[in-house]
Amino acid sequence: MFLFRRTQPRLSVDQARSRTGGQAPDAVLLDVREKPEWNAGHAPGALHAPLSKLVAGGALPPGASGRPLVVICRSGHRSQQAAKLLTQRGEQAVDVMGGMNAWAASGYPVSDERGNSGQIA
C-alpha cells in the first residue's frame, strides 16, 4: 500500500503571470521574500508580505485579503510554506514553481524598489 501526501497545487510562472497580470487579473501575486530581496527586484504589481511576518501571525497587505493568492519567493520553497500557511488561515493560495528565478529566466519584468529594472537577490 502506498501513502500519498496531499500537496498544494503549484503554478508555472506562465500560469502565474496569466492569473495575476493584464487588465482584469483573477488573483494577486504575493511575494513572500524578505525586504532586501523585494527591494532588489520583484514582479511589477506584486504585493509584499514576508514569510517571517506571516509565520508570526502578520496580516496580509491591503488588497490581498479575501482574494485568490499566487504566492512567489526566490526559488519556490518559501512560497510553498506560505501557501500552506495561508490555506490553513482560510485563504485561497497556490505557489509558483521556480519562484522569481524562473520568473526572470522566462523574461518577465523585474523591478527594484524605485521602479527601475531589478535583479533577483
Known catalytic residues?
A: 73
69's grid cell = 493568492
Enter the DSSP assignment of 116: S
The region that residue 63 occupies, defined by phi over 0 for left and psi between -120 and 50 for alpha, beta otherwise, is left
Can you read off the three cell numbers belonging to residue 115? 521602479
Q: Please state, in angstroms and as integers, the Cα–Cα distance from residue 55 to each residue in 18, 28, 113, 116, following that order.
A: 28, 19, 24, 30
Q: Are 2 and 8 in contact (CB under 8 A)?
A: no
